[in-house]
């Protein structure tokens, strides 16, 4: 449902942003998106009314409120935060061996999406411990968030293209304005892909590693 919401919002903004003297018709795409969203919403409501969801809530509540018998309460944040942060950074940087910044980025879109997910894990860990670091945390979080959002924009475009392709399979033919919209998103992705190497190398570079290490030694 999230993908449908994002795509529907983008399509509506694109349509509303066109000149009044040159309106476009994306009604077939918009109607299909709304129909699919309603179907996904019904599925979600069915799940929330199910015994499976009730069991999940009960089990999760029991897990969250159970006595921490196996947790070493004497362990301090500084005893685990450093290794946890660095392990997540290493998991992200491992993609350096699979991403060739000197080659075309578009054929590497699947790998970039996987790297984005790994970057999200590092971001959440850093944000969890950010109060310990004060303003210094921004030096590592800002470029990481920028990379994640950049790759997220590319993923949203990939989802849009996939959705439009499926729409064509269902209807047999796309309206000219829908084809034009798809071409606009393709051009947008081409621009975004050219900016990936710089953003990626910023995270994998020595300066970023030094900034990250400075956070860890402060604990």
Residue 32 scores a pLDDT above 70: yes
Cβ atoms of 216 and 85 within 8 Å: the answer is yes
What is the band of 212 on the pLDDT scale with cuts at 50, 70, 90?
very high
Residue length of the chain:
219
Residue 72: predicted pLDDT = 64
Cβ atoms of 7 and 33 within 8 Å: the answer is yes
Cβ atoms of 11 and 33 within 8 Å: the answer is yes
Domain ranges of the chain: 1-74, 76-219
pLDDT digits (tens, 9 = 90+) for 189-211: 889 988 998 999 999 999 999 99
pLDDT digits (tens, 9 = 90+) for 118-170: 999 999 999 999 988 888 889 999 999 999 999 999 988 988 988 898 889 88
Least confident range from 6-15, 28-37, 64-73: namely 64-73
Topology of the domain comprising 76-219:
CHAD domain (1.40.20)
Residue 75: predicted pLDDT = 76
Cβ atoms of 197 and 205 within 8 Å: the answer is no
- Mean pLDDT on 40-53: 95
Least confident range from 8-12, 31-35, 102-106, 129-133: namely 102-106
- Mean pLDDT on 76-104: 89
Torsion of CA 160, 164, 166, 172, to 10 degrees: 180
- Please measure the distance between the N-terminal and C-terminal CA atoms of the chain and give it in whole angstroms: 41
Residue 84 scores a pLDDT above 90: yes
What burial letters (b/e) apply to 151-163, b meaning 16+ CB within 10 Å?
beebbbbbebeeb
Average pLDDT score, the chain: 89
How far are the Cα atoms of 56, 65, 186 from residue 59, in angstroms, in the given order? Answer: 5, 10, 45
- Mean pLDDT on 18-46: 90
């Amino acid at each position: 449902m999230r993908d449908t919401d994002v795509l529907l919002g983008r399509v509506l903004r694109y349509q509303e942003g066109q000149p009044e003297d040159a309106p476009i018709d994306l009604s077939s795409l918009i109607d299909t998106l709304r129909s699919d969203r309603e179907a996904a919403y019904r599925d979600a409501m069915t799940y929330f009314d199910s015994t499976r969801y009730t069991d999940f809530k009960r089990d999760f509540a029991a897990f969250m409120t159970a006595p921490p018998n196996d947790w070493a309460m004497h362990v301090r944040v500084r005893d685990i935060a450093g290794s946890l942060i660095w392990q997540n950074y290493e998991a992200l940087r491992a993609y350096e061996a699979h991403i060739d910044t000197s080659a075309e980025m578009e054929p590497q879109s699947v790998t970039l999406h996987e790297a984005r997910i790994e970057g999200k894990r590092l971001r959440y860990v850093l944000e969890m411990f950010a109060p310990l670091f004060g303003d210094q945390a921004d030096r590592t979080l800002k470029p990481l968030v920028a990379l994640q959002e950049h790759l997220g924009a590319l993923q949203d475009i990939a989802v849009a293209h996939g959705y439009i392709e499926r729409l064509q399979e269902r209807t047999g033919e796309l309206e000219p304005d829908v084809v034009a919209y798809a071409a606009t998103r393709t051009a947008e992705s081409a621009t975004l892909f050219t900016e990936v190497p710089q953003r990626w190398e910023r995270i994998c570079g020595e300066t970023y590693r030094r900034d990250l290490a400075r956070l860890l030694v402060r604990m």
